[in-house]
Amino acid sequence: MSKSDIQTTPPVLTIDGPSGSGKGTVSRLLANELGWHYLDSGALYRITALAAQAAEIPFDYAETVADYALTLDIEFTSDEQGREQILVNGEDIASQVRLETTGELASQIAALPAVREALFQVQRKFAEQPGLVADGRDMGTIIFPDARCKIFLDASASERADRRYKQLKEKGVSVSLARLREEIEARDARDRGREIAPLVPADDALVLDSTAMGIDEVVDRIRQRLRSESLI
Ligand code: DC
């Protein structure tokens, strides 16, 4: 990388990990604090799965799903109360995007190479000045292998199921904890075991196990890493 590349390439912080590891919360907090852009790559897979389903394109038609994904006009924004909005071709589908069932569909569609290929450039375009926090499964390994700071955030499956259970309960959604844990484990197995872009830490990632750590501690550890890389 030449000196001018270093000056013009936006800094990227990648945060990968399984669902419920806290990476979404941590990524949003840091992106806000740093004033950097935020890429929620899982949302792109979720949106693609919902859109394909709504258009009645079977997931077996991977190329058609991939081509369709590239026609979607997607905007991440918020309403006047600060609530998340995800506009797809002008329609807010945020509440559907965040459903557990959509996470499951996204995990299925994410195993299709054609879909991953189509979303590659879409994700790369998020890297803009003054910087990007990229949250997902393969941010540090495939999408931004040259990122200056890579984190892999993990937590035990039972802790992640507990966290999700509490979140859903707060929203008034009643679910069984045992069932939630089974679903999390099944999704993990698919995301970690798939042939293409499996969920694994990049060789140069800092691996943090958040099972017994609060969000503040995790954010602190990442800030330290950003400092040691002279990114802040
Ligand atoms: O982070 P999430 O729960 O929103 O992700 C939903 C699914 O999308 C997840 O089970 C696997 C897939 N995914 C992926 O394969 N690669 C990414 N970079 C992000 C998500």
* 23-61 pLDDT, tens digit each: 999 999 999 999 999 999 999 999 999 999 999 999 999
pLDDT at 5 exceeding the cut of 60: no
**What is the fold of 1-22+132-222?**
Rossmann fold (3.40.50)
Mean residue pLDDT across the chain: 94
Say what the pLDDT of residue 198 is.
95
The atom of ligand 1 lying closest to the CA of 102 is 6
Homologous superfamily assigned to 37-129:
P-loop containing nucleotide triphosphate hydrolases (3.40.50.300)
Question: What residue owns the CA closest to ligand 1's atom 20?
Answer: 42
The string of DSSP letters for 33-62 reads HHT-EEEEHHHHHHHHHHHHHHTT--TT-H
Residue boundaries of the structural domains of the chain: 1-22+132-222, 37-129
Residue nearest to atom 2 of ligand 1 (CA): 42
Polymer length in residues for the chain? 232
d(CA 20, CA 180): 11
Residue the block writes with tokens 């790369």: 124
Kindly state the percentage of the chain with pLDDT values over 90. Answer: 89
What are the beta bridge partners of residue 38?
Answer: 133
Answer whether 1-22+132-222 and 37-129 agree in fold.
yes
pTM of the full predicted structure? 0.94
How far is the centre of ligand 1, averaged over its atoms, from the C-alpha of 8 (Å)?
A: 29
Query: Where does the chain show beta strands of DSSP type E?
Result: 12-16, 37-40, 74-78, 84-88, 91-92, 132-136, 149-154, 206-209
Tokens (6 digits) for 31: 């992106």
Could you report the per-residue pLDDT of 146-168, keeping only the tens digit for each? 999 999 999 999 999 999 999 88
Of 104, 132, 137, the residue with max ligand 1 atoms within 8 A of its CB, to mutate for a pocket test, comes to 137
pLDDT mean over 182-203 = 94
Is pLDDT at 106 greater than 90 in this prediction?
yes
